[in-house]
Homo-oligomer: A and B are copies of this chain.
Amino acid sequence: MDANYQIADTSGIITPALVVFREFLDDNIRHMIEIAGDASRLRPHCKTHKTAEVVRLQAAQGITKQKCATFAEAEMVAEAGCRDVCLAYNLVGPNIARAVAFRQKYPDVTLSVTADHEIPIAALGHAMTEAGTTIEVLLDVDTGQHRTGVTCCERAERLYQLIAETDGLIPGGFHVYDGHQHQQSHEERKAAIDVEWAKVIELRDKLIAAGLPVPRIVAGGTGSFPVYATKEDPTIELSPGTCVFNDAGYSAAFPDLKFPPATGVLTRVISRPTDNRITLDLGYKAIASDPPAGKRCTFPALPDAVAVLQNEEHLVLETNRAGDFQPGDELLAIPTHICPTSAMHKQIVVVSGGKVADHWDIVARDRQLTI
């Protein structure tokens, strides 16, 4: 295996196995804080790891706020000791009642949620008032991705005013996610982000002039948070996700970001069906398949391999080194996209100092814990 990713004794590891290399993980958390300037500016997204131990490692370095997308993640984060949770996912249907249940189960945890439409705003306000409690609501602002949110215009102003006027709701600021800013050049990315940011600030200032509080702007993902980090605005909360583990995809997409992949999937050769093929136990039930077929992972120890077929439990590689491998031999795959890969595994094997040191449950892979 690659010198950077050593595991002394793999004989007890059932493959395919998600593995985290502790030293890289610690470095990535440190580097994230370095870019932010201060741990207090960060609200990382836990969807990448879904793991209480990672929340606690971040807390040990001073990160006290977390962002999430599901109630399972929110509950995992609260159970891990975090007292400030932002559920950046517009609530509809049974999630309105789950927000009440969360407030009741964790009364000492600040839960903020996002909204972008009158109907859920009214439903959430009604539910909170009925329950005799309140919740902070961030306006979901669309800065060009057109995935969720409202663009910075009169409708955004009216909705924020509505949040402020609705019993049970407290206006908490904005949520700004810009996953569409995928310019490889940092300068081009920064320029595109700044055009949108100017509109966000204009909206903010209008609302403040109208007497409304805008206490925070939760902004950015892994690709954009270094841009927001350079702005001297004390209300910005930076919310990168992927970089805590990082992956081969973000390493290639954003060359300015220096986060080595901290996780891999250990896999074994199960067959050598032809002279130039080896087949691994690494199907798309164990590694994310949102990247195109053939581009779902890389092998540090076998960079020339070409993935020619993947099914649920198999990955077939073509390589002129196939003859070097026997069934049972191991390889480490670096996933192209780690976030949906983590969600496929019940546990992560923790390697420290080149040895298996621990196992962490990926608690929030389930969509419902108790709430």
Interface of A toward B, CB cutoff 8 Å: 11-16, 47, 69-70, 89-90, 92-95, 98, 116-117, 119-120, 123, 140, 142, 145-150, 179, 268-274, 277, 279, 281, 284-286, 288-290, 292-293, 309-314, 316, 326-328, 330, 339-340, 343-346, 366-368
Contacts and interface: CB of A to CB of B under 8 A. Distances in A.
Given A15-B93, A69-B313, A119-B327, 17 more contacts: A14-B93, A14-B94, A14-B95, A14-B367, A14-B368, A89-B270, A90-B270, A90-B327, A117-B326, A117-B327, A147-B316, A148-B271, A148-B279, A149-B273, A150-B273, A284-B288, A284-B340
B271 A90 contact: yes
A47 B142 contact: no
B93 A272 contact: no
Contact of A309 (B92, B142, B147, B288): B147
A93 B267 CA distance: 10
A147 B92 contact: no
B92 A328 contact: yes
Contact of A289 (B94, B116, B179, B290): B290
A270 B328 CA distance: 46
25 contacts: A11-B93, A13-B93, A13-B94, A15-B94, A47-B312, A47-B313, A90-B327, A92-B281, A92-B328, A117-B271, A120-B327, A120-B328, A123-B328, A146-B277, A147-B273, A147-B279, A147-B309, A147-B314, A147-B316, A148-B270, A148-B271, A148-B314, A284-B288, A292-B292, A312-B343
Closest 3 CB pairs of A and B: A148-B271, A92-B328, A289-B290
A316 B146 contact: yes
Contacts of A89: 270, 281, 313
A30 to B, nearest CB: 25
Contact of A268 (B93, B285, B311): B93
Contacts of A13: 93-94
A262 B148 CA distance: 31
B340 A312 contact: yes
A101 to B, nearest CB: 12
A267 to B, nearest CB: 10
Contacts of A90: 270-271, 327
A132 B2 CA distance: 39
B292 A289 contact: no
A292 B284 CA distance: 13
A328 B119 CA distance: 9
Nearest to A146: B273
A268 to B, nearest CB: 5
A150 B50 CA distance: 41
Contacts of A309: 145-147
A254 to B, nearest CB: 17
A343 B346 contact: no
A12 B274 CA distance: 52
Contacts of A272: 117
Nearest to A269: B92
